[in-house]
Homo-oligomer: A and B are copies of this chain.
Amino acid sequence: MSLIRLMNTTDDGFDAQLEQLLAWESVSDGAVNNTVNDIIDNIRSRGDEALLEYTNRFDGWQAETAGDLEIPLARLEQAWNTIPQDQRDALEHAAERVRVYHEKQKVESWTYTEDDGTMLGQQVTPLDRVGLYVPGGKAAYPSSVLMNALPAKVAGVSELIMVVPTPGGELNELVLAAARVCGVDRVFAVGGAQAVAALAYGTKSVPPVDKIVGPGNIYVATAKRAVFGQVGIDMVAGPSEILVVCDGKTNPDWVAMDLFSQAEHDEDAQSILVCPDAEFVAQVEASIEKLLPTMEREPIIATALKGRGALIVCRDMDEACEVANYIAPEHLELSVEDPVQMASRIRHAGAIFMGRYTSEPLGDYCAGPNHVLPTSRTVRFSSPLGVYDFQKRSSLILVSEQGAETLGRTASVLARGEGLTAHARSAEYRFEK
C-alpha cells in the first residue's frame, strides 16, 4: 500500500483531483459556539471572578485571587537564566534576525503639499495595546512567541500582553524565556476562550487590548472570531502546507525530509511535491519509505502524507509554476537551479524558499521573515503577519482656502448628483461668501 498518492498532470481529470486534494473547509461546531458565547458573556458580566472560575476549572490549578493569575516578569527572567546556554543563544540569534527583517516592514507617515497649499497624507501610528495568545502544554512553541511578539514591538506597540494557559500550573520555560527576549510587558496564566474574552473586553486585572494575535485550539479560534470587531484579530489558520517544486537535482532525502517537516505538525497538514522528472519522484518516494520509520513523529507524518500529501509529475518547469500559482501554498520551496528567476513568476505563496540550501524550517525559526502565514489558498488575498498588522493609518487632509473652492465645486456637483445636499452645502459654505 502506497505511503503517498502519486499524480500526473497528464492524468484525465487531474484538475478536479487537485481541487479535491486541496479542499479544506473548517467545520464550525454549534456546541463549541454556544460554549464560547457563554464564556464570553460571563467574562463580560463578571470579569475576574469568572476568569478565576474558568481557569481553576479548565486548567486544574487553584488560583485564589485574580492577582495570582499574573506571572511576574521576574519569573521570565528566572526562566531565561535556567535554560541551557545553547537555547539562550538560539533564542537571541533568532530574535535578532527576526527583529532586523521586520524593521524593514515599518510603514512611515507621509504628506505632500499641492500648489494651492492643500496638504494630503497618511499618518501611521502603532496600536496602543496588543494581546498575544500562546497555547499551553505540548503545543507551546517559543518560536510562535518570537514571530507574534516581535512585529508588534517593532511597530511600536506600547503594551504587549501575553496570555498562556498553565495546565496543572505547569509553565514552559522556553516559552517564558522567549517572552523575555521579546520584551513582552505583562503575562497572565490564563487560556482558552476566557483569556480571549478577558483581552477583548478587559477585566479588573487584565487590561483590554486593541488586537489579539497568536494560534490556539478550536475554542480559542472560535472566541477570536466572536470578538472580532470589538478588537482586531490575526487570521484564523488552517492546517500547515508545503509545496516543493524541484527540478529533480536535489538530494531526494532532503526533499523527503522537507515534506516530513510539514507533515509532522498534524494529521491534516499538507505536503506536496511537483517535479517534471518521474524518476526523481520515484526516488523521493523511496526516501520517504526509507526515512519514515526513523521519525519520532512517524504516525502523524504517515497519516498526513497518506491523507493529504501528493507527489505530482508535471510536464515541465513552466507547468510546475502554473501548478504552484494554482495551489497558492503557505510555504513554497523552489529547489531548482535558478530559483530567483522562478520566484519572479510566482504570484501566490506565503513564503518562497529559494534554492536547495533553503530548507523550510529555517523560515520557521530564524531566517528572519515571519512564520505566521496565510493557509488554505488565502495567500491569493493575504500576507504574512508583519509589522504592518500592528500599525494603522489615518488619512490627513488640510485644504487651503483656495482649495476649498476648487474641491468644493467638484464635491458639490457629485453630492447633489447623489442627493446628499447637506454634503453639498457644507462644501459650498467654504467658498460662497
Residues of A within 8 A of B (CB): 26, 86-87, 89-91, 93-94, 97, 101, 104-105, 110, 112, 118-120, 122-123, 125, 127-128, 138, 141-143, 174, 210-211, 229, 231-232, 251, 253-254, 257-258, 260-261, 263-265, 295-297, 301, 339-340, 343-344, 346-355, 357-370, 373, 376, 378-384, 386, 388, 392-401, 403-404, 407-411, 413-415, 417-427, 429-430
Contact = CB atoms under 8 A, between A and B. Distances in A.
A203 B237 CA distance: 27
Given A380-B210, A381-B231, A423 B264 contact: yes
B415 A361 contact: yes
A366 B414 contact: yes
A153 B373 CA distance: 26
Contact of A258 (B257, B260, B417, B426): B426
A120 B367 contact: yes
Given A257-B426, A367-B399, A413-B90, A418 B141 contact: yes
A197 B426 CA distance: 39
Given A362-B411, A393-B384, A112 B122 contact: no
A122 B373 CA distance: 13
Contact of A386 (B393, B411, B425): B393
A233 to B, nearest CB: 9
B301 A422 contact: yes
A379 to B, nearest CB: 7
A307 B106 CA distance: 41
A361 B429 CA distance: 11
A363 B257 contact: no
Given A232-B382, A362-B404, A365-B411, A352 B395 contact: yes
A254 B433 CA distance: 12
Contacts of A359: 399, 404, 408, 426-427, 429-430
A291 B258 CA distance: 71
A309 to B, nearest CB: 13
Contact of A358 (B254, B358, B398, B424): B398
B357 A403 contact: yes
A414 B365 contact: yes
A353 B384 contact: no
Nearest to A347: B125
A112 B174 CA distance: 30
A359 to B, nearest CB: 5
A50 to B, nearest CB: 20
Given A142-B417, A417-B87, A127 B358 contact: no
